[in-house]
């Protein structure tokens, strides 16, 4: 039996950026055999939650409107996609009405799929905004994550598109529709959808672009990457091109920390068991990467660098020039590190 993917359109604007992206994501899901349905929230009659509290004891909402037929859809759809514009750094009222009315599902959450099965239900968020500062997306993310969690849906990622003001402007945004299609397909296949904006006070100032999705067998030393810096940060790069080396701080978004505090570096049993923080393992509580790279070239807001051990799509947190005071020629290191240093001390 094919799985069902429900797409919620938060924008009141038909054939706008979000509808175009949502249609692509649903087509991607369909290409993987899913049955899809689109709900245009603006066309629905949804009364605002009255906080009457009755659902707290029954798990049922007493208001009679279109939500009566939406609740079963929300419960039964295998996967969910919410596509919405940013309105005043928040969700449009149409989307917020629906989310608030899910209070009864929160109240009756024991009736939702058992937590063990909930990882089978996956959610994708698509957001567009006219401004290009990624910070404006942050306030919505917590709301949407809470909404998905209430439905027992595992949040699998977001596609964020800034700089989209006019209706349909996304058609001229290189690769946007393709990314939405791919994300819809990945949602059904259960694959990683892409970088999650870190739920931390860090805001990416840019993104790593290269062809690496896994570590190259020959090591990172000679690999080249581009650091694509957000347009509003570009002037802050001025002067960096006078340095031969940079320190890149980045968020290792695909690292998986599972509470381990002792590890064998690089997972090699012949290495001594050491404290996690005495290693360079990416799987740490705050997966912050820090690497000194060679700056090859700056072209506007794109820096071409050599030797960065980060995958394509990695969020960049900060860049600093490498100074002579960063060099400590006689620094002490244990024996096992010296053996590993050629390939990085994971």
Ligand X SMILES: Cc1cc2nc3c(=O)[nH]c(=O)nc-3n(C[C@H](O)[C@H](O)[C@H](O)COP(=O)(O)O)c2cc1C
Among 206, 13, 9, which Cα is nearest to 127's?
9
Rounded to an integer, what distance in angstroms lies between the CA atom of residue 277 and that of residue 262?
Answer: 8
Rounded to an integer, what distance in angstroms lies between the CA atom of residue 43 and that of residue 118?
Answer: 29
- Closest distance between ligand X and the C-beta of residue 306, in Å? 35
Contacts (CB under 6 A) with ligand X, residues 12-71? 13, 16-18
Stretch that binds ligand X, among 141-149, 162-170, 183-191, 337-345 (CB under 6 A): 162-170
138-150 vs 93-100: helix crossing angle, rounded to 10: 30
Per rule CB under 6 A, is residue 143 in the interface with ligand X? Answer: no
Task: Identify the H or E element spanning 250.
Answer: strand 245-251
* Contact flags string 213-252 toward ligand X, x per CB under 6 A: ----------------------------------------
Rounded to an integer, what distance in angstroms lies between the CA atom of residue 139 and that of residue 90?
Answer: 7
Per rule CB under 6 A, is residue 78 in the interface with ligand X? Answer: no
- Closest distance between ligand X and the C-beta of residue 18, in Å? 3
- DSSP readout, 12-26? SSTTSHHHHHHHHHH
Stretch that binds ligand X, among 87-95, 214-222, 260-268, 321-329 (CB under 6 A): 87-95
Contacts (CB under 6 A) with ligand X, residues 102-141? 128-131, 136
Stretch that binds ligand X, among 81-89, 209-217, 277-285, 324-332 (CB under 6 A): 81-89
Among 182, 137, 186, which Cα is nearest to 162's?
137
- Closest distance between ligand X and the C-beta of residue 99, in Å? 17
Q: What tokens were used for 50?
A: 């009255």
Per rule CB under 6 A, is residue 87 in the interface with ligand X? Answer: yes
Contacts to ligand X by CB under 6 A: 11, 13, 16-18, 85-89, 128-131, 136, 164-165, 167
């Amino acid at each position: 039996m094919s799985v069902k993917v429900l797409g919620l359109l938060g924008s009141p604007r038909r054939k706008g950026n979000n509808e175009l992206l949502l249609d692509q994501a649903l087509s991607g899901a369909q290409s993987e055999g899913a049955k899809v349905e689109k709900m245009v929230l603006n066309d629905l009659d949804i009364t605002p939650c009255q906080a009457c509290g009755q659902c707290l004891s029954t798990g049922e909402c007493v208001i009679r409107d279109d939500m009566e037929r939406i609740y079963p859809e929300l419960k039964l759809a295998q996967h969910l996609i919410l596509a919405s514009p940013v309105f005043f750094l928040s969700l449009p009222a149409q989307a917020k009405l629906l989310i608030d009315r899910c209070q009864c599902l929160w109240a009756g959450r024991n009736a939702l799929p058992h937590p063990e099965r909930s990882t089978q239900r996956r959610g994708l968020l698509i957001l567009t905004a006219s401004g290009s500062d990624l910070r404006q997306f942050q306030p919505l993310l917590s709301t949407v994550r809470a909404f998905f969690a209430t439905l027992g849906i595992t949040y699998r990622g977001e596609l964020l598109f800034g700089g989209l003001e006019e209706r349909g402007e996304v058609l001229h945004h290189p690769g946007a529709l393709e990314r939405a299609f791919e994300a819809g397909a990945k949602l059904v296949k259960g694959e990683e959808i892409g970088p999650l904006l870190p739920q931390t006070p860090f805001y990416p100032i840019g993104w790593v672009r290269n062809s690496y999705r896994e570590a190259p067998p020959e090591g990172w030393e000679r690999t080249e990457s581009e650091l694509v810096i957000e347009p509003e940060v570009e002037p802050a790069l001025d002067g960096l091109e006078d340095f031969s080396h940079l320190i890149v701080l980045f968020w290792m978004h695909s690292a998986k920390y599972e509470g381990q505090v002792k590890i064998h570096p690089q997972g090699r049993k012949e290495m001594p068991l050491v404290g996690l923080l005495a290693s360079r393992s990416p799987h740490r509580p705050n997966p912050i990467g820090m690497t000194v790279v060679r700056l090859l070239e700056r072209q506007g807001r794109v820096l071409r660098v050599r030797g960065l051990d980060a995958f394509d799509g990695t969020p960049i947190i900060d860049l600093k020039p490498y100074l002579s005071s960063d060099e400590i020629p006689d620094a002490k290191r244990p024996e096992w590190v010296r053996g590993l240093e050629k390939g990085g001390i994971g």
